[in-house]
Structure 1
Amino acid sequence: MGPENAYTDRRVLVVGGSSGVGLAAAREFAARGAETVLASRSRDRLEAAAAELAGLPGPVTGLELDIRSDEQVERFAAAAGKFDHVVVSAARTPTGRVDTLPLADAYSAMDSKFWGSYRIARGLGGSISPAGSLTLIAGYLSRRPTRASALQSAINAAIEALVRGLALEYAPLRVNAVSPGLLATPHWDGMAAEDRDRMYQAAADRLPVQRVGHAEDIAQAVLFLAGNGYTTGSTLFVDGGGRIA
Structure 2
Amino acid sequence: MTSRTTLIIGGTSGVGLAAARQLAAAGETVHVASRDAAKVATITDTAPELVAHQVDGNDAAAVAGLVAGLAPLDALVITLAGSEGAGALADLDLTALRRAFEAKFWPTLTVLQAALPHLAERASITLVGAVSAHAAMPGTAGIGALNAAVEALVRPLAVELAPRRVNAVSPGLIDTPWWSGMPEQARAEWFSSAAKGLPVGHVSSADEIAEAVVLASTNTSMTGAVLNIDGGARLVQF
TM-score bucket of the superposed structures, by smaller chain: over 0.9
1:84 pairs with 51, 56, 74, which one? 74
Please state if 1:42 is matched with 2:56: no
Quick one: distance in 2 between partners of 1:13 and 1:145?
33
Unpaired stretches in structure 1, ≥5 consecutive residues: 1-5
Q: Which amino acid aligns with 1:137?
A: V
Quick one: distance in 2 between partners of 1:211 and 1:25?
20
TM-score by length of 1: 0.90
- 1:189 is displaced (CA, Å) by 0.5
Give the corresponding residue for 1:62.
52
Kept in 2: contact 1:93–1:110 (CA 8 A): no
SS at match of 1:23: helix
SS at match of 1:243: helix
- Per-residue CA deviations over 1:66-96 (Å, capped at 9, x if unaligned) read 1133443344344443211110112224133
Give the corresponding residue for 2:226.
235
Q: How does 1:1-245 map to 2 (within 5 A)?
A: 6-8=1-3, 10-54=4-48, 59-97=49-87, 98-245=89-236
Quick one: distance in 2 between partners of 1:225 and 1:69?
26
TM-score by length of 2: 0.92
Kept in 1: contact 2:71–2:119 (CA 8 A): no
- 1:118 is displaced (CA, Å) by 0.8
Kept in 2: contact 1:125–1:170 (CA 8 A): no
Quick one: distance in 2 between partners of 1:7 and 1:29?
11
- Cα pair distance change 1:7/1:45, threshold 3 Å: farther
- 1:145 is displaced (CA, Å) by 3.8
Give the corresponding residue for 1:3.
none
SS at match of 2:147: helix
Quick one: distance in 2 between partners of 1:161 and 1:192?
34
Unpaired stretches in structure 2, ≥5 consecutive residues: none
Q: Which amino acid aligns with 1:161?
A: A
SS at match of 1:94: coil
Q: Give the alignment's Cα RMSD to 1 decimal.
A: 1.6
- 1:53 is displaced (CA, Å) by 2.1
Determine what percentage of the aligned residue pairs are the same residue: 35
SS at match of 1:220: helix
Q: Which amino acid aligns with 2:44?
A: A
Q: Which amino acid aligns with 2:102?
A: D
Quick one: distance in 1 between partners of 2:83 and 2:164?
28
Q: Which amino acid aligns with 1:90?
A: L
SS at match of 2:152: helix
Quick one: distance in 1 between partners of 2:60 and 2:119?
19
- Cα pair distance change 1:15/1:103, threshold 3 Å: same
Kept in 2: contact 1:38–1:63 (CA 8 A): yes
Q: Which amino acid aligns with 2:57?
A: I
Kept in 1: contact 2:32–2:50 (CA 8 A): yes
Quick one: distance in 2 between partners of 1:67 and 1:99?
31
SS at match of 2:233: coil
The size of the alignment, in residue pairs, is 235
